[in-house]
């Protein structure tokens, strides 16, 4: 592997994790972001699952796109096909997790079932296809996006754990205050823009 | 849930206010922030959602007798993806400038929890006509939320509405930035909770979160 390619992959990871952070600059995956970020433990578990799912689904859908959809001119079906590929993979990840780590599975069960209806999971293959990334670039993009999502979840979870102690006005308890918080974090993340020019 | 027969008007009211997708149920939030920096985009996405939601509910309700419960999720996904593909192609042809900005979010409608939820909770148990009303109501609730959010963001952030200048002077740039989206939605949610508590004796829907 030559240096040029390594540099490009590293740039992709950093830019998708920090500059184009899915949660704070592209607003994808917010349902899960606000749903699971209440406790640190679940946030960490979810981030790990997410990153893994993202990398594998990016790789899988790249193969499907490049070797099945392109030769047969099926690009117009990309929404249906990608959601199928991702859903099939998530279902199997779900089954594996149930066997390997039942305790984590019962904590995240509800959200794991909903992982298919999460925008990020679908956005990664769609963006990969649109930008025409190579196989390695797709994986780097998936990895960076997963890491960025995990970072956002962990920041949010640590703040929300402290928030339990705070005296928030009644109408703002729960979600509203979390949104305002997310806004403030997003403001901090705008500081990353311009870090790397792709 | 569906056992107590509701009139169409009640379904409509429930979709618009009682179970408003964004402010009360707090699902399908991603586009609520992503495309609401201007009213034009917000309304365009809202209309797309109304279309998809109504058609999906109609289709699911029509074929509900043939779906085996065990494979209902993939079937719902397929139906939703089909209609999203239709709207995606229509918009990319007839509304090119808007599509360039919000195309990704149109495709992401597939993964909307709200559409899936209405299909699962309502359309798979009810007759065709009430299901269509329910889909329309839920979509309209989403459209309403998009209009409210983008109204504040565009007016405060750019001093414009639908691209026409309303207020002269220096706008609050933060409102059109990503951060502003979160803050506006947070404040509006808080406001609606406050109204609910103050005037209707509710507890604030998202209070438990």
Chain A residue numbers touching B187 (CB-CB < 8 A)? 176, 180
Angle at B116 (CA atoms; ends B111, B117), nearest 5 degrees: 130
Contact between A40 and A103 under an 8 Å Cβ cutoff? The reply is no
The pair of three-digit structure tokens given for residue B47, joined into one six-digit string:
């209309």
Q: What is the pLDDT of residues A113-122, one digit of tens each?
A: 666 656 777 7
User: CA–CA separation, A137 vs A144, rounded Å?
Assistant: 10
Q: A52 by DSSP, 3-state: which?
A: helix
Question: Do A176 and B187 lie within an 8 Å CB cutoff?
Answer: yes
Q: What is the pLDDT of residue A114?
A: 61
Instruction: Name the minimum distance, in Å, from the CA of A81 to any CA of chain B.
Output: 9
Among chain B residues, the shortest Cα distance to A22 is held by B30
User: CA–CA separation, B145 vs B26, rounded Å?
Assistant: 11
User: CA–CA separation, A115 vs A56, rounded Å?
Assistant: 14
A118 part of contact set with chain B, CB < 8 Å? yes
User: CA–CA separation, B28 vs B37, rounded Å?
Assistant: 17
User: CA–CA separation, B206 vs B208, rounded Å?
Assistant: 5
User: CA–CA separation, B195 vs B201, rounded Å?
Assistant: 9
Q: What is the pLDDT of residue A88?
A: 81
Angle at A179 (CA atoms; ends A192, B172), nearest 5 degrees: 65
Question: Do B190 and A174 lie within an 8 Å CB cutoff?
Answer: no
Which contiguous run of DSSP H or E holds residue A59? Answer: helix A40-64
Domain locations in chain B as residue ranges: 9-198
A39 part of contact set with chain B, CB < 8 Å? no
Domain locations in chain A as residue ranges: 7-190
The beta strand positions in chain A, using DSSP E, are none
Instruction: Name the minimum distance, in Å, from the CA of B7 to any CA of chain A.
Output: 30
Contact between B153 and B37 under an 8 Å Cβ cutoff? The reply is yes
A177 part of contact set with chain B, CB < 8 Å? yes
B173 part of contact set with chain A, CB < 8 Å? no
To the question of pTM greater than 0.80 for the whole model, the response is: no
Question: Do B179 and A116 lie within an 8 Å CB cutoff?
Answer: no
Angle at B170 (CA atoms; ends B168, B172), nearest 5 degrees: 120
State the distance between the two ends of chain B, measured CA to CA, in whole angstroms.
Answer: 23
Closest partner residue to A126 among B27, B85, B107, by Cβ? B107
Instruction: Name the minimum distance, in Å, from the CA of A190 to any CA of chain B.
Output: 8
**ipTM exceeds 0.90:** no
Chain B residue numbers touching A180 (CB-CB < 8 A)? 182-183, 186-187
Residues, chain A: 198
Q: What is the pLDDT of residue B207?
A: 38
Instruction: Name the minimum distance, in Å, from the CA of B155 to any CA of chain A.
Output: 18
Instruction: Name the minimum distance, in Å, from the CA of B34 to any CA of chain A.
Output: 6
Contact between B149 and B32 under an 8 Å Cβ cutoff? The reply is yes
Q: What is the pLDDT of residue A197?
A: 57
Q: What is the pLDDT of residue A14?
A: 83
The pair of three-digit structure tokens given for residue A22, joined into one six-digit string:
């899915």
Low-confidence ranges of chain A (pLDDT < 70): 1, 107-118, 194-198
* pLDDT cut 90: percent of chain B above it: 0
Low-confidence ranges of chain B (pLDDT < 50): 1-4, 206-209
């Amino acid at each position: 592997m030559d240096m040029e390619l390594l540099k490009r992959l590293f740039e992709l990871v950093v830019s998708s994790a920090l500059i184009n952070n899915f949660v704070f600059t592209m607003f994808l995956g917010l349902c899960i972001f606000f749903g699971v970020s209440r406790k640190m433990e679940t946030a960490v578990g979810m981030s790990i699952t997410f990153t893994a799912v993202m990398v594998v689904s990016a790789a899988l859908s790249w193969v499907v796109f490049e070797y099945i959809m392109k030769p047969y001119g099926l690009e117009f079906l990309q929404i249906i096909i990608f959601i199928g590929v991702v859903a099939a993979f998530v279902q199997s990840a779900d089954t594996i997790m149930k066997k390997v780590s039942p305790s984590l599975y019962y904590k995240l069960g509800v959200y794991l079932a909903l992982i298919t209806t999460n925008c990020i999971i679908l956005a990664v293959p769609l963006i990969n296809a649109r930008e025409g990334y190579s196989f390695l670039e797709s994986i780097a993009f998936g990895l960076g996006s997963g890491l960025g999502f995990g970072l956002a979840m962990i920041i949010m979870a640590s703040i929300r754990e402290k928030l339990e102690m705070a005296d928030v006005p009644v109408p703002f308890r729960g979600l509203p205050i979390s949104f305002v918080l997310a806004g403030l974090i997003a403001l901090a993340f705008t500081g990353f823009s311009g870090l790397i020019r792709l | 849930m569906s056992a107590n027969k509701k009139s169409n008007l009640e379904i409509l009211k429930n979709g618009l206010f009682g179970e408003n997708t964004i402010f009360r149920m707090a699902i399908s939030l991603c586009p609520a922030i992503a495309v609401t920096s201007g009213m034009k985009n917000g309304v365009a996405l809202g209309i797309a959602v109304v279309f998809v939601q109504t058609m999906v509910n109609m289709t699911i309700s029509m074929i509900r007798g043939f779906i085996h419960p065990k494979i209902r999720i993939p079937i719902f996904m397929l139906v939703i993806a089909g209609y999203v593909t239709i709207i995606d192609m229509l918009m990319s042809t007839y509304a090119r400038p808007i599509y360039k900005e919000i195309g990704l979010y149109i495709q992401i409608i597939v993964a909307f929890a709200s559409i899936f939820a209405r299909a699962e909770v309502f359309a798979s148990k009810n007759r065709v006509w009430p299901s269509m009303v329910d889909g329309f109501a839920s979509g309209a609730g989403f459209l309403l939320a998009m209009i409210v959010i983008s109204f504040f963001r565009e007016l405060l952030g750019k001093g414009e509405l639908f691209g026409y200048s309303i207020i002269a002077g220096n706008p609050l740039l933060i409102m059109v930035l990503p951060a502003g989206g979160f803050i506006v939605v947070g404040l509006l949610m808080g406001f609606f909770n406050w109204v609910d508590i103050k005037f209707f004796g509710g507890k604030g829907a998202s209070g438990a979160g």
